[in-house]
C-alpha cells in the first residue's frame, strides 16, 4: 500500500488502534456493562472474517478489538459496525462514521445482580446509564462497576469504582438464632455480627453492606434494603509513575449523586488538565495530585445532594509506589 | 353455596371480614428474597384483599402463624412469671390443600402426642378457621397427589379460586354466607374449589422402610452436598421442632423472658448433648434422620404420613437437593433390600 496518508489522531479518536503492523489497524468495539447481544456478536465475527484476520481480541476492559484491518478499509468497517453501535445504544454524532471518541474508556461491569447471587444491583444497567451520560468524550476516564465488595470487576484500578451495597434489614421475629449469618459474615466477610441474648447484633460501623448475611439467612430474618447503595472509590490507576488502588470516598452513596459527580469531573478536567499533556491525555489522578483533593472535591460536589446515609471520607490518602520520585 | 365476583367484590368481602377477624395469608414481599430484586412469598397479617397472593405458592408455610419462628411465651422476674399476651380475636388462615392437610400434623404433635397439650399452640389453634386457596395447576416440585393431600373436602370455611380475574368461592360454613351474599355483583353459582389430580413429580413410598436403609450408602453424598442450612425444615408446613431461649435482660440480670424459636434437625446444635456429644455430626446422617422421620417414623407412631408433598423443601434448597428424589431413592433401595 503506497501513499498512505492517515491522520493518526483522528484514527485513534475514531476508536481504531495504532498498530505496530504498518498499514494495519484494529477496530475497537465498545460494550458498556459487558453485555452484547448475540446478533451483534455475529456481526463482529463477520467483520473479523471479512476485513480482519479471523481472530477477535477480548480486551481487559470488556471491549472487543478486531485486529488486522487494513487502514484503507476503515470507512467500510465504520459502516459495518453501525448496527452494533445502534444495538448497544452508543451515543453517536454521525451515523455510519463509527465511534465519535475513545478517550473515555468502555464502562465495565461485573455480572452483578443479573446473574451473581452476591450482586447488590444491576451493574450492567447502571454502567449503560453512566455510558449514556458521559459518552462521547475525549477525556481519559475509566469507570467500573462491581456488584459487591468482592470487587470481581477490580474497580479499585479505575478512576471511579462503584461497589454495590445493601443495608441488611433485620426482623428479630423471624430470627431463630441458627447462627448462619454470624458464621458466614465472619468467614466470607468482615465479622460484623454477633449473637447476643438469642438475637443478632450488627456492628453498623464495621458492616460493609455485602449482603452475605441476607444470602445465608434461612428464614428471611435478614433481607435487603429497598434502596440500592454504593461505595464510591476514587482514583485508582495502573501505569508507570505511581500505580495505586482507589481509595474510599463515599459509603452508602446513591445512584443519582454518582452520575452527577462523574459528569462534574469532566468540567474539572477541562479546567485543570495540563495543556502540554502528551496526546492531550492525562489521568485525572495526576491532575488531582496537582490541584489537591479539596479543589477536586469542590467540583465533584457541585449540585450534588447526598442521601442521609452517605458517609464521606473528606481526606482520602492514596498510597502506591512512586517510581517517578524514588525509582523502581 | 357458591359465589363468583370480581376483585372489587372480593375486596369488600375481605374488608367486612376484617372487622371480626385477623387474616393471615401469603403475601408477595418485594425484594425479600435471598437475592437482589427477588421477591419472597411469606405469611403475614393482611389489611387489604390486594395483599393476598393467590397465584404463587408461598415460599414459607402457614405454620408461621401457629408456631411462630420466634415467640415469647412468658416473662419472669424474681419469683413471678407472666404468660405473654395473646390477641384472642378469631383468625382466618389462608392455605392451599396441602397446607390445610399440614394442620393435622401440627395438631398431632402439639396437642395429641402424649398426655400434655401445648397451651401456647392451643390458644393460637383455637382461634383459627381456614380459607382454602384452590390450585388451578400443580407448581414446581409439588407431589401432593402421591401424598394424598391434593384435595380437601372440608376443613375450610370458604374457598378462593382466581379464574380469569374473577374470584370463585365455595362457602362451606353457613355463617360466612352473609359476607358474600350482600356483595353487589356477586353471582350465586355452584362452585367447587380447584384441585390438582396429577403432578409432574411423583413419589413412591415403601409400605415399610426396611431397617437396612439406615446403613445404605445413599445418604453419603449429602454429607458433602448439603450445607446444613435448615431451609428445608423452616419452610416445611409439617416440621414442628423448636428450641427454647431463656434470656436475662442485660441491664437487669434477674428479669427476662422465655422464647420458643424454630429449630431444624439439619442445623448444627440440634443433637448436641451434655459433655459435648453430638449424635448426628454428618449432614448425610441428618438427611437420613429427616427423610425417615417424614416418610416412615412419624407414620409408625401415628399411622399416616407426615410429609404432605408441598415441595417447598425442594423449591428452597440452595444446593438443589431434591427431597422427592430422595424418597424415590429410598424406595428403590428398599426394593433391592427386600428382593
Ligand atoms: S463483584 Fe460481587 S456481584 Fe460482582 S461478580 Fe463478584 S461476587 Fe458477583
Ligand atoms: S452485610 Fe455483609 S458485612 Fe454487613 S452484616 Fe451482613 S454479611 Fe456482615
Ligand atoms: S441466619 Fe437468620 S435466622 Fe439464623 S441467626 Fe442469622 S438472622 Fe437469625
Ligand atoms: S437439604 Fe438443602 S435446604 Fe436442607 S439443609 Fe441441606 S442444603 Fe439446606
Ligand atoms: S418435607 Fe418437603 S414436601 Fe414434605 S411437607 Fe415438608 S416441605 Fe413439603
Across A193-208, average pLDDT: 97
Q: Whose CA is nearest to atom 6 of ligand 2?
A: A213
Residue A3 lies in a domain: no
Residues A120 and A181 in one domain: no
Residues A238 and A314 in one domain: yes
Say which residue the cell 461497589 belongs to. Answer: A163
Residues A308 and A183 in one domain: no
* Domain tally, chain A: 3
Residues A236 and A315 in one domain: yes
Does the beta-carbon distance from A180 to B40 stay under 8 Å? Answer: no
Buried b (16+ CB within 10 A) or exposed e, B125-153: bebbbbbbbbbeebbebbbbbbbebbebe
Residue A178: CATH number of its domain = 3.30.70.20
Residues A118 and A159 in one domain: yes
Residue A101 lies in a domain: no
Residues A190 and A49 in one domain: no
User: Model confidence over B25-84: pLDDT tens digits?
Assistant: 999 999 999 999 999 999 999 999 999 999 999 999 999 999 999 999 999 998 999 999
Beta strand segments in chain B, E: 2-6, 22-29, 40-46, 70-76, 81-83, 91-95, 128-133, 158-163, 166-170, 187-189, 242-248, 256-262, 272-273, 277-278
- The grid coordinates of residue B133 equal 386457596
B311 at interface of A, judged by CB pairs closer than 8 A:
no
Q: Say if strands B242-248 and B256-262 run parallel, antiparallel, or are unpaired.
A: antiparallel
Residues A117 and A21 in one domain: no
Length of chain A: 328
Residues A129 and A250 in one domain: yes
| pTM of the predicted model as reported, rounded to 2 decimal places | 0.95
Residues A249 and A267 in one domain: yes
**Percentage above 70 pLDDT, chain A:** 99
Residue A188 lies in a domain: yes
Residue A2 lies in a domain: no
Q: Residue A243 class from Cβ within 10 Å (0-12 exposed, 13-18 middle, 19+ buried)?
A: middle
Does residue A282 contact residue A274 with C-beta atoms inside 8 Å?
yes
Q: Whose CA is nearest to atom 1 of ligand 5?
A: B307
Does the beta-carbon distance from A180 to B229 stay under 8 Å? Answer: yes
Residues A185 and A47 in one domain: no
Residue A245 lies in a domain: yes
Query: Distance between CA B169 and CA A57 in Å, rounded?
Result: 63
- Give SS3 for A302: coil
Q: Could you tell me which of A217, A208, A210 has the C-alpha nearest to residue A170?
A: A217
Does residue B56 contact residue B97 with C-beta atoms inside 8 Å?
no
User: Cα(B223) to centroid of ligand 1, in Å?
Assistant: 28
Does residue B227 contact residue B199 with C-beta atoms inside 8 Å?
no
Pick the last residue of a domain from A223, A239, A268.
Answer: A223
User: Model confidence over B141-183: pLDDT tens digits?
Assistant: 999 999 999 999 999 999 999 999 999 999 999 999 999 999 9
- The grid coordinates of residue B28 equal 408477595
* Residue B203 beta carbon below 6 angstroms from any ligand 5 atom: no
- The grid coordinates of residue B194 equal 380447584
For residue A1, name the pLDDT band (cuts at 50, 70, 90).
low
Residue A102 lies in a domain: no
Residue A64: CATH number of its domain = 3.30.70.3340
Pick the last residue of a domain from A87, A119, A147.
Answer: A87
Residues A210 and A294 in one domain: no
Contacts of A221 in chain B (CB under 8 A): 69
Residue A294 lies in a domain: yes
For residue B250, name the pLDDT band (cuts at 50, 70, 90).
confident
Query: Distance between CA A129 and CA A127 in Å, rounded?
Result: 5
- Positive or negative torsion for Cα A6, A10, A12, A15: negative
Phi/psi of residue A17, each to 5°?
A: -90, 145
Phi/psi of residue A281, each to 5°?
A: -125, 120
Q: What is the mean pLDDT of chain A?
A: 96
- The grid coordinates of residue B135 equal 390450585
Half-sphere exposure for A69 (CA within 13 Å, toward CB) = 30
Q: Could you tell me which of A205, A212, A256, A204 has the C-alpha nearest to residue A230?
A: A256
Q: What is the mean pLDDT of chain B?
A: 96
Residue B81 makes CB contacts below 8 A (sequence gap 6+) with: B74, B75
* Residue B310 beta carbon below 6 angstroms from any ligand 5 atom: yes
Residue A161 lies in a domain: yes
**Inter-chain CB pairs, A–B, below 8 Å:** 79
Residue A118: CATH number of its domain = 3.30.413.10
ipTM, two decimals, is 0.96
Does the beta-carbon distance from A176 to B261 stay under 8 Å? Answer: yes
Across A49-65, average pLDDT: 97
Residues A130 and A33 in one domain: no
Task: State how far residue B32 is from chain A, nearest Cα, in angstroms.
Answer: 5
User: Model confidence over B322-331: pLDDT tens digits?
Assistant: 999 999 999 9
Task: State how far residue A51 is from chain B, nearest Cα, in angstroms.
Answer: 43
Considering only the beta carbons, identify the residue of B70, B263, B264 that sits closest to A172: B70
* Residue B307 beta carbon below 6 angstroms from any ligand 5 atom: yes
Q: Residue A286 is part of which domain span?
A: 108-165+229-326
Task: State how far residue B319 is from chain A, nearest Cα, in angstroms.
Answer: 12
Does the beta-carbon distance from A178 to B70 stay under 8 Å? Answer: no
User: From the CA atom positions of chain B, what is the Rg in Å?
Assistant: 22
User: Model confidence over A4-42: pLDDT tens digits?
Assistant: 889 999 999 999 999 999 999 999 999 999 999 999 999
| Alpha carbon separation from A240 to A52, A244, B272, B318 (Å, rounded) | 32, 11, 59, 46
| Alpha carbon separation from B191 to A55, B12, B167, B326 (Å, rounded) | 66, 19, 10, 38
Amino acid at each position: 500500500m503506497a501513499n498512505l496518508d492517515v491522520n493518526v489522531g483522528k484514527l485513534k479518536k475514531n476508536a481504531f488502534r495504532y498498530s505496530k503492523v504498518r498499514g494495519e489497524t484494529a477496530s475497537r468495539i465498545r460494550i458498556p456493562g459487558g453485555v452484547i447481544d448475540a446478533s451483534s456478536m455475529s456481526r463482529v465475527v463477520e467483520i473479523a472474517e471479512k476485513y480482519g484476520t479471523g481472530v477477535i481480541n477480548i480486551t481487559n476492559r470488556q471491549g472487543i478489538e478486531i485486529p488486522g484491518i487494513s487502514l484503507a478499509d476503515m470507512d467500510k468497517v465504520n459502516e459495518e459496525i453501525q448496527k452494533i453501535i445502534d444495538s448497544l445504544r452508543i451515543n453517536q454524532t454521525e451515523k455510519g462514521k463509527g465511534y465519535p471518541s475513545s478517550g473515555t474508556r468502555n464502562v465495565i461491569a461485573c455480572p452483578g445482580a443479573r446473574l451473581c447471587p452476591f450482586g447488590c444491583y444491576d451493574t450492567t444497567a447502571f454502567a449503560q446509564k453512566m455510558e449514556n451520560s458521559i459518552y462521547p468524550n475525549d477525556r481519559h476516564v475509566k469507570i467500573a462497576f462491581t456488584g459487591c465488595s468482592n470487587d470481581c470487576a477490580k474497580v479499585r484500578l479505575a478512576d471511579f469504582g462503584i461497589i454495590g451495597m445493601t443495608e441488611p434489614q433485620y426482623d428479630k421475629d423471624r430470627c431463630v438464632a441458627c447462627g448462619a449469618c454470624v458464621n458466614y459474615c465472619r468467614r466470607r466477610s468482615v465479622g460484623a455480627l454477633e449473637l447476643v441474648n438469642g438475637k443478632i447484633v450488627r456492628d453498623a460501623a464495621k458492616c460493609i453492606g455485602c449482603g452475605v448475611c441476607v444470602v445465608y439467612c434461612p428464614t428471611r430474618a435478614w433481607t435487603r434494603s429497598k434502596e440500592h447503595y454504593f461505595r464510591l472509590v476514587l482514583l485508582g490507576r495502573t501505569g508507570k509513575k505511581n500505580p495505586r488502588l482507589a481509595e474510599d470516598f463515599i459509603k452508602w452513596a446513591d445512584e443519582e449523586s454518582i452520575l452527577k459527580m462523574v459528569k462534574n469531573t469532566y468540567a474539572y478536567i477541562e479546567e485543570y488538565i495540563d495543556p502540554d499533556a502528551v496526546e492531550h491525555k492525562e489521568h485525572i489522578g495526576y491532575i488531582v495530585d496537582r490541584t489537591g483533593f479539596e479543589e477536586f472535591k469542590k467540583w465533584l460536589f457541585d449540585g450534588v445532594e447526598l442521601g442521609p446515609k452517605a458517609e464521606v471520607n473528606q481526606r482520602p490518602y492514596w498510597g502506591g509506589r512512586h517510581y517517578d520520585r524514588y525509582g523502581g | 353455596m357458591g359465589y363468583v365476583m370480581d376483585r372489587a367484590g372480593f375486596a369488600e368481602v375481605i374488608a367486612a371480614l376484617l372487622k371480626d377477624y385477623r387474616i393471615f395469608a401469603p403475601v408477595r414481599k418485594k425484594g425479600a428474597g435471598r437475592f437482589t430484586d427477588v421477591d419472597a412469598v411469606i405469611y403475614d397479617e393482611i389489611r387489604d384483599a390486594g395483599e393476598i397472593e393467590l397465584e404463587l405458592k408461598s415460599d414459607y408455610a402457614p405454620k408461621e402463624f401457629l408456631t411462630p419462628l420466634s415467640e415469647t411465651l412468658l416473662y419472669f422476674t424474681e419469683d413471678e412469671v407472666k404468660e405473654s399476651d395473646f390477641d384472642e380475636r378469631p383468625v382466618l388462615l389462608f392455605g392451599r390443600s396441602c397446607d390445610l392437610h399440614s394442620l393435622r400434623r401440627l395438631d398431632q404433635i402439639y396437642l395429641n402426642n402424649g398426655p400434655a397439650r401445648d397451651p401456647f399452640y392451643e390458644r393460637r389453634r383455637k382461634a383459627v378457621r381456614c380459607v382454602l386457596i384452590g390450585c388451578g395447576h400443580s407448581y414446581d416440585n409439588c407431589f401432593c397427589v402421591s401424598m394424598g393431600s391434593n384435595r380437601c373436602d372440608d376443613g375450610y370455611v370458604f374457598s378462593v379460586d382466581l379464574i380469569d380475574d374473577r374470584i370463585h368461592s365455595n362457602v362451606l360454613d353457613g355463617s360466612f354466607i352473609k359476607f358474600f351474599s350482600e356483595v353487589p355483583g356477586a353471582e350465586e353459582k355452584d362452585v367447587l374449589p380447584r384441585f390438582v389430580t396429577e403432578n409432574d413429580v411423583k413419589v413412591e413410598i415403601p409400605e415399610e422402610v426396611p431397617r437396612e436403609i439406615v446403613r445404605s450408602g445413599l445418604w453419603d453424598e449429602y454429607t458433602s452436598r448439603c450445607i446444613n442450612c435448615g431451609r428445608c425444615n423452616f419452610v416445611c408446613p409439617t416440621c414442628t421442632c423448636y428450641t427454647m431461649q431463656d434470656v436475662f435482660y442485660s441491664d437487669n440480670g434477674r428479669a427476662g423472658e422465655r422464647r420458643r424459636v424454630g429449630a431444624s434437625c439439619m442445623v448444627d446444635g440440634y443433637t448436641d448433648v451434655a459433655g459435648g456429644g453430638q449424635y448426628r455430626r454428618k449432614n448425610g446422617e441428618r438427611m437420613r434422620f429427616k427423610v425417615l422421620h417424614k416418610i416412615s417414623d412419624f407414620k409408625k407412631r401415628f399411622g399416616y404420613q407426615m410429609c404432605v408433598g408441598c415441595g417447598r423443601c425442594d423449591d428452597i434448597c440452595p444446593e438443589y437437593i431434591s427431597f422427592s428424589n430422595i424418597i424415590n431413592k429410598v424406595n428403590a433401595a428398599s426394593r433391592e433390600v427386600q428382593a
